[in-house]
Amino acid sequence: MRLLVTGAAGFIGSAYVRGLLARPPGQGPVHVTVIDRLTYAGNLANLDTMLDDARLTFIEGDIADDALLASVVPGHDAIVNFAAESHVDRSIAGSQDFVHANVVGTNALLQAATDSGVGRFVQVSTDEVYGSIAEGSWTEESPLSPNSPYAATKAAADLLACAFARTHGLHVSITRCGNNYGPRQYPEKLIPLFVTHLLEGQRVPLYGDGLNIRHWIHVEDHCRAVQLVLEKGEAGQVYNVGGGAELTNLALVEQLLAACGRSPDSVVHVKDRPGHDFRYSLDGARLRALGFTPRIGFTEGLADTVRWYRENRSWWEPLKDIAAKVAENRP
């Protein structure tokens, strides 16, 4: 299979490609093309030695660039679209980049796949498209009710994907996963931001009362789910990726403090995120029926993740320096 993977210089896409290229000979793709715009979140270090692998071609480019797609997409058997602006707080500060990457970009990719007769397409989406749920869990039939601009753009992309399946017969499936954690996550999301702050001896900003609930899944389990949907997913079908660990932010932060050897006074309660979703929870029965179960338990996965940040300061220290300089220049 010749596979096109977008956004693979980011956190999840790079883990996905790493998993593919590590497969035994004959079981992985023949070739992987990566398109990534290398935004602030795109980092070639995430692909490291894979860049020297003859099975991988890296193209720096924008998935909203129709001309680029017309030259690159033909000849591929499948597309997995990870490329997106992905951080809720940034979408609150300004949503234009989110509309460009997540809506215009996904639409361009769906159109190019249709025009080139690409056989399969997986749109990597998120649980946030459903909004917030106080009790119970969302099934794939739950209504879309996004709250943040980020979630609204991801919901728009999902609707476009469904429309391309129905109107053009494109074989596109959608995955909706909860919060990912693991190595190489940009230090702006809760776990990498807090772990790197704690390792640097800084205090961590917990929004509101800290009672918001998220469910956490290891990035490698998410990637296995995406691969399963690529291989076995039905056209026009949505698959929730469930099975994560459900925790309040406060409970998670207690575990992070313990893992980093810091005391509770390292936590500062700060102003809440505007429109902060209270809880996400997915019913993962449909994907379980396809054979999916997460393999990495949360306690083990979190310990490995904290160890990775402890041992790979050269990966995250430059990123935090850039973030600090950007913050200094803000009015």
193 lies in the site for ligand TDX, by CB under 6 A: yes
Asked if 140 is an active-site residue, the reply is no
**Nearest-angstrom CA–CA distance, 293 and 52:** 32
Q: What is the token pair recorded at 279?
A: 């809880």
- Binding at 249: pick from ligand NAD, ligand TDX, none (beta carbon under 5-8 Å per type): ligand TDX
Nearer to ligand NAD, 170 or 225 (CB): 225
Asked if 150 is an active-site residue, the reply is yes
Nearer to ligand TDX, 207 or 288 (CB): 207
- Binding at 29: pick from ligand NAD, ligand TDX, none (beta carbon under 5-8 Å per type): none
Q: What angle do CA 248, 132, 163 make, to 5 degrees?
A: 135
Work out the number of other CB atoms within 10 angstroms of the CB of residue 92.
15
Asked if 62 is an active-site residue, the reply is no
The site that binds ligand NAD (CB under 6 A) totals a number of residues, namely 31
Q: Are 125 and 82 in contact (CB under 8 A)?
A: no
Q: Which long-range contacts (CB under 8 A, 24 or more apart) does 50-58 make?
A: 50/17, 50/18, 50/21, 53/21, 55/21, 55/28, 55/29, 55/30, 55/31, 56/17, 56/21, 56/31, 56/32, 57/31, 57/32, 57/33, 58/9, 58/34
Which residue reads 């338990």 in tokens?
Answer: 297
- Binding at 273: pick from ligand TDX, ligand NAD, none (beta carbon under 5-8 Å per type): ligand TDX
Among 63, 172, 190, 228, binds ligand NAD (CB under 6 A): 63
Q: Least separation, in Å, of the C-beta of 91 and ligand NAD? A: 11
**Nearest-angstrom CA–CA distance, 317 and 300:** 24
Residues 1-40 that bind ligand NAD (CB under 6 A): 6-7, 9-13, 35-39
105 lies in the site for ligand NAD, by CB under 6 A: yes
Q: Which residues form the catalytic set?
A: 127-128, 150
Interface with ligand NAD (CB under 6 A) = 6-7, 9-13, 35-39, 41-42, 62-64, 82-86, 101, 105, 124, 126, 154, 177, 179-180, 186
